[in-house]
Amino acid sequence: MTSETATAEHTLSEKTAGHTPGREMNGVLPDVGTHSAEDETARHSAATATNFDTLTALESEAIHIFREVAGEFERPVILFSGGKDSTVLLHLAIKAFWPAPLPFPVLHVDTGHNFQEVLDFRDRMVEKYNLRLYVASVEEYIADGRLEERPDGIRNPLQTVPLLDAISEHRFDAVFGGGRRDEERSRAKERIFSLRNAFGQWDPKKQRPELWNLYNGRHSPGEHVRVFPLSNWTELDIWRYIARDDVDLCPIYYAHEREVYQRDGMWLAPGPWGGPRDGEELKTLSVRYRTVGDGSTTGAVLSDAVDNYSILSEVAASRLTERGATRGDDRVSEAAMEDRKREGYF
């Protein structure tokens, strides 16, 4: 055996010994029996290395997408709700152009039923990073008659018209969103660069191919492109990244005591949007939110997780996505999200 062959075989054996399952195992190594302390240390180190490599690849892809859009489009904007996904999106955008200021404004579609903690966090981020903020208000559209309040009081579906009007008014040609493919079936089949026609509508049957990291941003006047840099991330990836980069997050995502009542299997909080009906008991419980949306339809989950690593354990054990578990507006029908996206929703 030559020295080169011996070296190659030694290197191969090292790589094989250090191999760990990828994202399909959620970065958790399988239990194959009892292990010594040295084995456990090695397993932890290997898992950490795998997670780091996965997050680095996802981060690099997202940063590449931001820079690609900056080079292809004239007037991009970032949709920012104050939620965890849009916060990670903002964090990545700032990284992509640091130390220069963020070259894009941010747009928030405010339903008027947002949690106060989320609005406070949004304003804090705007001040911290000196962002240009545009707000499209559903409340204003209802007040002046351009929209009508729904009988059920849910305003998430009413966001579409103010969003499309804001895009048209400010002539945005690329709109960044924090949607992920693991959230919901219609988002699973949407491209990273998703063309919207002159009416802001999406046709899933007319999507463009995306090969490797080549993105087609061509569009006609009046059309725009929705861009989803987090498409390939999972909820677990998001929380690992938040923990790794110590991303500043809205406190509503961590366990806290809140008055809630149960309806349709979800823990809802009372507010300007309404409260418990007859037979629904108001309780003070330790809860947190997995996703942030309209207060009237976003449910909390019972939790004692007050830090990122405790939340990671919860998410890894969950069998439902955050939208499937806590968003009432997605339960209207199996195609509820796709129907809204076809009309111009996020």
- At 228-239, the pLDDT tens digits run 999 999 999 999
Summarize the confidence of residues 314-323 as an average pLDDT. Answer: 80
Strand pairing class (224-227; 193-196): antiparallel
C-alpha 342: how far from chain center: 19
Helices 37-72 and 84-97: crossing angle, nearest 10°?
70
pLDDT, tens only, 45-100: 444 444 568 999 999 999 999 999 999 999 999 999 999 999 999 999 999 999 99
> What local confidence, expressed as pLDDT, does residue 235 receive?
93
pLDDT greater than 80 at residue 332: no
Listed residue (243, 241, 250, 265) closest to 324, CA to CA: 265
Summarize the confidence of residues 118-146 as an average pLDDT. Answer: 96
pLDDT greater than 50 at residue 22: no
pLDDT tier at 35, thresholds 50, 70, 90: very low
Q: Which domains are delineated in the chain?
A: 52-235+335-343 (3.40.50.620), 249-331 (no CATH)
Task: Identify the top-confidence range among 11-20, 103-112, 292-301.
Answer: 103-112
pLDDT, tens only, 136-156: 999 999 999 999 998 877 888
Q: pTM for the complete prediction? A: 0.80
What burial class does residue 246 get, using C-beta atoms within 10 Å of its C-beta: 0-12 exposed, 13-18 middle, 19+ buried?
A: exposed
pLDDT tier at 325, thresholds 50, 70, 90: low
pLDDT, tens only, 5-20: 444 444 333 333 333 3
pLDDT tier at 323, thresholds 50, 70, 90: low
Which residue(s) pair with 137 in the sheet? 110
- Range with lowest mean pLDDT among 104-118, 127-141, 188-202: 188-202
pLDDT greater than 50 at residue 220: yes
Under a CB-based contact definition with an 8 Å cutoff, are residues 321 and 183 in contact? yes
pLDDT, tens only, 272-292: 888 888 889 999 999 999 988
Query: Where are the alpha helices (H) located in 130-206, listed in sequence order?
Result: 138-143, 160-169, 185-188
Across all residues in the chain, what is the average pLDDT?
82
> What local confidence, expressed as pLDDT, does residue 137 receive?
96
Tell me the percentage of the chain whose pLDDT exceeds 90. Answer: 58
pLDDT, tens only, 171-201: 999 999 999 998 877 778 889 999 999 888 8
For residue 223, give every residue at least 6 positions away whose Cβ sits within 8 Å of its Cβ, in sequence order, or none: 173, 195, 196, 197, 198
pLDDT greater than 80 at residue 343: no
Summarize the confidence of residues 307-316 as an average pLDDT. Answer: 94
pLDDT greater than 60 at residue 30: no
